[in-house]
Chain A
Amino acid sequence: MSTSSSPSWVRPAGLFIVVSAVIYALAVWQPFAPSGAATADNGLVGDPVAGEVLFAEGCAGCHGAAGEGGAGPVLQERMLEEAAVAGVVVNGRGTMPAGVFVDQDAQDVAAFVAQLSGGAPTAAPADDAAPDDGDEPAAAGPEPAGEATLFGDNLWGLSIRLDAPAPVDWTVWVDGSAALRPVGLIAAGGTALEEPNVGPPPVIDVYDRVLIGVDAGAPRLVGSISADEAERMRRISNADPDTPGGVALVDGAEADVAVFAEHTRFLTESVAEGNAANLRLHAEHLVNIAEGEPIEELDGDGVATNPGDGFGLVSGYLAALTEDGGDDVAGAVGPLRDALEQTVADARVCAEAQSIAEGADCAEAISGRADAIVTGWTATRTAAEGSLAVDLVEAG
């Protein structure tokens, strides 16, 4: 027989509240934050810009010019607090001597290290990232400018070209509202970085800035990808919500080009087989692939058919690519569009041919342009995908 069949919820609720409160109190107190008192006690405010110079002089020899480590521990990605760092700088730790810097200098170095460790995820340090790179302070010398270029499929690649050598080891990041991602390192004295695959996801879907420097929180160079440019390239290379299935313009167009080429072959085979009905049918297909919705009934069988996706190779995809792609794309699209429009005109003739003899000339003309259309599309795709270049300018 149970002596107390009704349990009390007070005990578990009280236990939950008390233990949670104790943990919260400890978290607020932070009893083992190494120098929790440093800032509060000395009342100093660190200057990370001044600290960067001091770091290069007194710390980079062990910790690396970009905090990537060496004889001393890695400082990148450590998410250190300024107060904690200041305490270590003043008091030393392990093999690190006390008093490397004191007072305001210590606070300045701590401010820089805190920035470096919190905002600068690790990038693979170059093998030759020698500690003596730190002999040249990052603030010394003219600031290089340059260009950042997104390239390749889906613009997953990123190349950096600087106009002048990097004064110290510089990390390159791509930055967006929701993510910061290290791409690579430009070693001191270097001027270039080539990373063929930053993604996935496509850079322009997530990131809108390229940052270069020692600390992502205080970059030296910034390249901004405008929203309009990103949207334009996204429609071309990644996804266009206006197309069937939301496919990218180049992908949708390429699929339609393939279908167009396939039905050109079917039309040619119809002539060889002496099948006038199929000649008319595939001619109707060519017209509808090129012109999209609304599809037309041309071959007289009473049914309008379209093996394309309905967007229209000429009226949809090439028109959109011309609008979004700029002058280079317009120049490449021109010959392709001409060839397609002439083929459509011939296909309209073939669609009404009542015999093979009547459709022989139009079919021959269509067949004769097949290779030119494929070649024209290749040139168009190359021009459309191209790349997206942004200027790198000194961070304000």
Chain B
Amino acid sequence: MRPAPVTADVASAYADAMESVFSSAVAGKAWFATVAVVLVIVQLSTAARIFGKIGNVLPLSSATAAVIHRWSGRLAFLATLPVVFHCVTILGFQTTDSRVAIHSVVGSLFYGAFAAKILFVRDHRFPGWVLPAAGGTLAAGLVVLWLTSSYWYFTEVNFGF
């Protein structure tokens, strides 16, 4: 009848850690996802610069843009880790309403899309349109995930830490 001690401890430790900073684990999750979305804007901007676009509004060399792109991507990935831990291992796949269902489906596919995108980055044999398409899809997915979670939380539940 009692939950397995290890899993209970992991969940409790996670919740305690989040609540040491935020009012609740859900609030913390919402803010981590928001950080990731902000970094995605950096990702899109620097990606455009790498491909020779928007030089007039983002006066960076391609090399500098590439460095920023890689590091903002790494930080965005890190910001998603507590979110995915909470969503996947604690809340799980749910379809209680359309918002939650959309979030669950897109969330399930997100890391798969991320893995494929990384592969496209490293394998230069694919057509030129593939990488921006994969990156754009990934960014769009993250925005959908943010809209169906953090945005909902901030507008319908509580805007605060």
Q: Does A45 belong to the interface (CB within 8 Å)?
A: no
**Cβ of A73 < 8 Å from any Cβ of B?**
yes
Identify which of A73, A87, A91 contacts B24 (C-beta below 8 A).
A73
Q: How large is the interface on B (under 10, 10 to 19, 20 to 34, 35 or more residues)?
A: 35 or more
> How far apart sit A18 and B108, CA to CA, in the bound complex (Å)?
11
Stretch of B37-45, B67-75, B113-121 that contacts chain A:
B113-121
User: Which chain A residues in 70-118 approach chain B with CB under 8 Å?
Assistant: 73-74, 77-79, 84, 87, 90-91, 93-94
Contact B158 A121 (CB under 8 A): yes
Considering the chains assembled together, what is the distance between the CA atoms of A94 and B13 in angstroms?
9
Q: A38-B1, A77-B24, A121-B158 are in contact. Are A31 and B7 (CB under 8 A)?
A: yes
**CB–CB A26/B89 < 8 A:** yes
Q: Which of A21-48 contact B (CB under 8 A)?
A: 21, 23-24, 26-38, 41-42
State in angstroms the CA–CA spacing of A32 and B3 once bound together: 10
* Pairwise interchain contact A37-B3, C-beta atoms closer than 8 A: yes
Interface size on A, residues (CB 8 A): 48
Report chain A residues within 8 Å CB of B90.
30, 32-34
Q: Roughly how many angstroms separate A36 CA and B90 CA in the complex, as a whole number?
A: 9
Contacts A18-B112, A20-B112, A34-B8; A12 near B120 (Cβ below 8 A): yes
Interface 1/0s, chain B 96-136, versus A by CB < 8 A? 00000000100111111111100110010110000000000
Complex-state Cα separation, A315 to B84, whole angstroms: 62
Q: Answer yes or no: B157 CB below 8 A from chain A CBs.
A: yes
Partner of A74, one of B3, B12, B24, B107: B24
Whether B119 lies near A15 (C-beta < 8 A) is: yes
A34–B19 alpha-carbon span in the complex (Å) = 16
Q: Which of B7-21 contact A (CB under 8 A)?
A: 7-8, 10-12, 14, 16, 19
**A19-B115, A32-B89 in contact; A121/B156 too (CB < 8 A)?**
yes
In A320-371, the 8 Å CB interface with B consists of none
Could you tell me if A19 and B125 are in contact, using CB atoms closer than 8 angstroms? no
B45: min CB distance to chain A, Å: 25
Of the candidates B1, B10, B89, B107, the one having the most CB atoms from chain A within 10 angstroms of its own CB is B1
Residue pair A15, B112 in contact (C-beta under 8 Å): yes
Binds B, one of A2-10, A160-168, A232-240, A261-269: A2-10
In contact, A24 and B111 (Cβ under 8 angstroms): no
Q: A residues touching B (Cβ–Cβ < 8 Å)?
A: 2, 4-7, 11-13, 15-21, 23-24, 26-38, 41-42, 73-74, 77-79, 84, 87, 90-91, 93-94, 121-122, 179-181
Using a CB–CB cutoff of 8 Å, the interface residues on chain B facing chain A are 1-4, 7-8, 10-12, 14, 16, 19, 23-26, 84-85, 87-93, 104, 107-116, 119-120, 123, 125-126, 156-158
A-B contacts, 8 of them at CB < 8 A, read A4-B125, A32-B14, A36-B3, A77-B24, A77-B26, A79-B26, A79-B91, A91-B2
A-B pairs with the 5 shortest C-beta distances? A20-B112, A30-B92, A7-B125, A27-B93, A19-B112
